[in-house]
Structure 1
């Protein structure tokens, strides 16, 4: 199951992680208006533990959390993982090819969640992944969650993702944008989590190299576009009322990730590291 394609995908997720960590630490270093020290990522490795379906000594993989608390980012995580094993029987039907592969799977990916300190800087999320059962496919996306929506920010973010899609015949921006709007929605609130982005899953066009090239460009588009948005608002003053609004908005983020997020479910159902899975939760939040 672990072949050259899997190794290439896993290596790219690790490389992108390193690029993102460097860029986010650079933002911390350049913001000198705060008396607080610049943040730096702390990396913590973890190994996937044994599972009832596979009680032997097989290496089930693991991952690495990169977590930073700083003066620009109140909390930001950039996690990578490469895991394999056997899905429990009741979860196999939820994963394409899970039954056909007798529950065997391999998965690798990167997940980024940013909770800025300033309420004027939007929170953001990006993840891309490759999963293999009896066949392999890619999934992922990126989205923006501002406390105070800014038309220019949203337009620039979407333009970057559209450019990444339009460069690749295997991608469909309009479909992925609509998919994102449907996915990042809180039915119990009847509201969107943020201003959207793109979301895609089960991407397997038959040309693995073309699919992989698109996935790479999604990561690079997010890296560049989000960095520009953070820098745009970084030096704008904010007040206690805006901070309170940010903490309330973060509550919506928590509700979605714990109630509806498929990545959270997949991580917990496949024996992932709980701290890494729940890395997306903000460090401070209120429900009024």
Structure 2
């Protein structure tokens, strides 16, 4: 059995919460700046924060979190920044999924604990890319691991924006290779390219980033430090792109491209995303799980 002290669980959950607070504050600061046309008359967007609760099958408390969603902002059309800390017993489908990932003994002791932050931003201006980021820790009596990543989802691509975002993702990885490991960024970039792919469309949902899961090198402190690095690099990776593009003129045709691209994003999240599947199967608040969906999308 692989156990983790309550202190380490608390440290992880508290850090995810603190990162959530910083990102929410930063996004509201963006909203407070001079508003770009044609949204100058709108009030600055603010997050609506709703506590979420998870209830076990026997009616007992099983944790919860904070669902923080801003709708109709001057820069952010819809953005969710959710934090959660949940626990309980995994159901049959979740147990089978864990067993398929190589976690032994789930049928004998299906307890779990998980905490993390999940973020998806859909922007007003089609020139500003949508973005996703999450980091999390998962524990069972048999294993623990970290996972997460961030990927950029522009509908109108700019190579220099992609290069900036990936440079920050590489900085998140640099210096965190385990002994004997080489090229963590290249490996996690390739993993993101594979993971954020939409098979039925035969294309990626964006321009990639990094993705990792099942991270347990045996050194909890090192793995947590890397996960913090991924979270710390998010705002420096994304906010400069927002500032650069937020007031860039756009056309109805640009908006149409954005709405169609959002359809791809919705398809991916509803059909393939692991986090969406786990959240719904484990009984977490459905609104919080599905906050990643865009406010408006279009299919030809």
Tell me if structure 2 keeps the 8 A contact 1:82–1:107: yes
CA distance in 2 between partners of 1:148 and 1:136 (Å): 39
What does residue 32 of structure 1 align with?
35
- Pairwise CA distance, 1:103: 1.1
Q: Of residues 164, 175, 195 in structure 1, which corresponds to 2:207? A: 195
- Pairwise CA distance, 1:136: 1.1
The number of equivalent residue pairs is: 284
Q: Secondary structure at the match of 1:60?
A: strand
2:88 is equivalent to residue 82 of structure 1: no
Aligned CA distance change for structure 1 residues 229 and 106 (closer, same or farther; 3 Å):
same
CA distance in 2 between partners of 1:87 and 1:136 (Å): 15
CA distance in 2 between partners of 1:213 and 1:221 (Å): 12
Q: Secondary structure at the match of 1:284?
A: coil
What does residue 260 of structure 1 align with?
272
What does residue 111 of structure 1 align with?
118
Tell me if structure 1 keeps the 8 A contact 2:93–2:281: no
CA distance in 1 between partners of 2:266 and 2:200 (Å): 13
What does residue 230 of structure 2 align with?
218
CA distance in 2 between partners of 1:216 and 1:144 (Å): 19
- Pairwise CA distance, 1:97: 4.3
Q: What is the Cα-based RMSD across aligned positions, in Å?
A: 1.3
68-77 or 28-37: which moved more? 28-37
CA distance in 2 between partners of 1:194 and 1:122 (Å): 9
Tell me if structure 2 keeps the 8 A contact 1:67–1:76: yes
Tell me if structure 2 keeps the 8 A contact 1:2–1:106: no
CA distance in 2 between partners of 1:255 and 1:192 (Å): 12
- Return 5+ residue gaps in structure 2 as ranges: none
Query: Deviation digits for residues 71-124 of structure 1, max 9, x if unmatched?
Result: 100000000000001111232131234616621100001000000000000000
Q: Of residues 19, 22, 25 in structure 2, which corresponds to 1:19? A: 22
Q: Secondary structure at the match of 2:233?
A: helix
- Pairwise CA distance, 1:56: 5.6
What does residue 242 of structure 2 align with?
230
120-129 or 224-233: which moved more? 224-233
Query: Deviation digits for residues 192-221 of structure 1, max 9, x if unmatched?
Result: 000000000000111111111110110111
- Return 5+ residue gaps in structure 1 as ranges: none
Tell me if structure 1 keeps the 8 A contact 2:35–2:75: no
Aligned CA distance change for structure 1 residues 98 and 194 (closer, same or farther; 3 Å):
farther
- Pairwise CA distance, 1:49: 1.5
TM-score by length of 2: 0.92
Aligned CA distance change for structure 1 residues 35 and 137 (closer, same or farther; 3 Å):
same
What does residue 297 of structure 2 align with?
285
Aligned CA distance change for structure 1 residues 21 and 161 (closer, same or farther; 3 Å):
same
119-128 or 98-107: which moved more? 98-107
CA distance in 1 between partners of 2:59 and 2:77 (Å): 41
